[in-house]
Amino acid sequence: MSTAPSSAAPADSLFSAFGPLLPLMAMVFIGYIPMGMALPVLPRHVHDALGQGTFVVGVVMGAQYLSAILLGRGWSGAVTDLRGPRAAALGGLVGACGVGAVYFASLALPGPSLSLATLVAGRLATGVAEAFIITAALSWGMARVGPAHAGKVIGWIGMALFAAYGLGAPIGAAVHARFGFEGIALATVLVPLLAFVVARRIPTVAPTQAKRPPFYRVLGAVKLPGAALTLASFGYAAINAFVALLFVQRGWGSAALAFTSLGAGFIAARLLVGHLPDRVGGARVAGWCMLAEALGQALIGLAPGVLVACAGAALTGAGYALAFQGFGVEAVRRAPPQSRGAAMGGYVVFQDLSMGLAGPLGGWLALHAGLQAVYLVAAAGALGAAGLAWWMVRR
């Protein structure tokens, strides 16, 4: 498999980086498929099989991001910078297999309380494993094509991630319908092993020898684009945690189509205009895209039927795709070269913060004001992110 960019691709096009990044995209896509399979299944398993309410569903879904904030991002950034991205990626994929074993354990334990606690442990382990995989992939990609193409790296790796979520969701729904939660657990054990094999075949890059600043200083360097990402991510979190329950409440059946629409919007935006953050500026692109996400969230909250809700999910995916990419370009440009792994880990901490808080806060909001309110609040958050993006443009 050639890793050289096509000579026919313009240097500023998204496709100029496709060849060197393709093996990393395959690793991320395969590794994230089981996580995508769990998205439409876990909320219903906790709600229906374990008899828990929306607040507890939010806690379970948000636990992944708590562990990523407290442990995963800083640890994965340090391992990536000091030992190289391949070591970090392989460790993350082994951890992802372990999550499936924890899911199996939750099914074997007596009583819903023990099962629920074990599921939370599985979600905590997911946060650490996911942090290692994505931080390694982003840093590895920038080492292969250069930091000047950071937007393209974020674009392609993000597309692989969302393609895995978009394809994994309907697969997960089908597997759950036929084999139950045991099928999801088995897939979570086995599928990351394929990604492990892919990662082992990708040439590694040497870790940096330069002195690294402490992680808290890296966080400080990326705090402004990170704050915008926090607001932007609430809508994405709202779909992950609550759209399955919204579909059930409104009698629309499985929410797998909503997850697929989210992933399709994400990928379409990246393919069509994913080169723009490197070309015209990350904050400028993110500002406009946050307006699109705000509209998408409002459509979901006010949707009279499945098609409008899925259109809102697609619009959210498109807006969030380029906003994450645009704010990420701003973060990389603010970070020292020897800490790019830590910078990407630190930048995504702000996403984790939003995703971790959105679960319990969104569950509380749904309990008191209905699921519709979750998406209207997320729309307001997207407007706030647009304001921060335009502030960065003016500065």
* pLDDT for residue 210: 59
Is it the case that residue 137 has pLDDT exceeding 60? yes
280 pLDDT band (50/70/90 cuts)?
confident
Average pLDDT over residues 151-179: 88
Q: Which residue has the higher pLDDT, 314 or 73?
A: 314
pTM: 0.76
Alpha-carbon torsion 141, 320, 335, 218, what sign? Answer: negative
How many whole angstroms separate alpha carbon 343 and alpha carbon 133?
15
DSSP code, position 9: S
Average per-residue pLDDT for the chain: 87
Average pLDDT over residues 266-292: 89
Q: With b meaning 16 or more CB within 10 Å and e meaning fewer, what string describes 51-79?
A: ebebbbbbbbbbbbbbbbbbebbbbbbbb
How many whole angstroms separate alpha carbon 37 and alpha carbon 198?
20
How many whole angstroms separate alpha carbon 151 and alpha carbon 44?
36
- Beta-carbon contacts of 9 under 8 Å, excluding residues fewer than 6 positions away, are 15, 16, 18
Collapsing DSSP to helix, strand or coil, 26 comes out as: helix
- Give the CA-trace dihedral at 328, 40, 128, 98, to 10 degrees: -150
* pLDDT for residue 259: 86
pLDDT digits (tens, 9 = 90+) for 315-347: 999 999 899 989 988 888 877 766 666 777 778
How many whole angstroms separate alpha carbon 7 and alpha carbon 364?
53
Residue 213 backbone phi and psi in degrees, to 5? -70, 160
Is it the case that residue 75 has pLDDT exceeding 50? yes
Q: How far is CA 174 from the centre of its chain?
A: 22
* pLDDT for residue 5: 40
How many whole angstroms separate alpha carbon 81 and alpha carbon 135?
10
- CB-based contact 14:150 (threshold 8 Å): no
CA neighbor of 365 nearest in space, from 256, 253, 247, 241: 241
* Domains by residue range for the chain, with CATH: 16-206+214-394 (1.20.1250.20)
pLDDT digits (tens, 9 = 90+) for 19-62: 899 999 999 999 999 999 998 899 889 988 898 887 888 888 87
pLDDT digits (tens, 9 = 90+) for 298-309: 999 999 999 999
Is it the case that residue 2 has pLDDT exceeding 60? no
* pLDDT for residue 58: 80
Collapsing DSSP to helix, strand or coil, 250 comes out as: coil
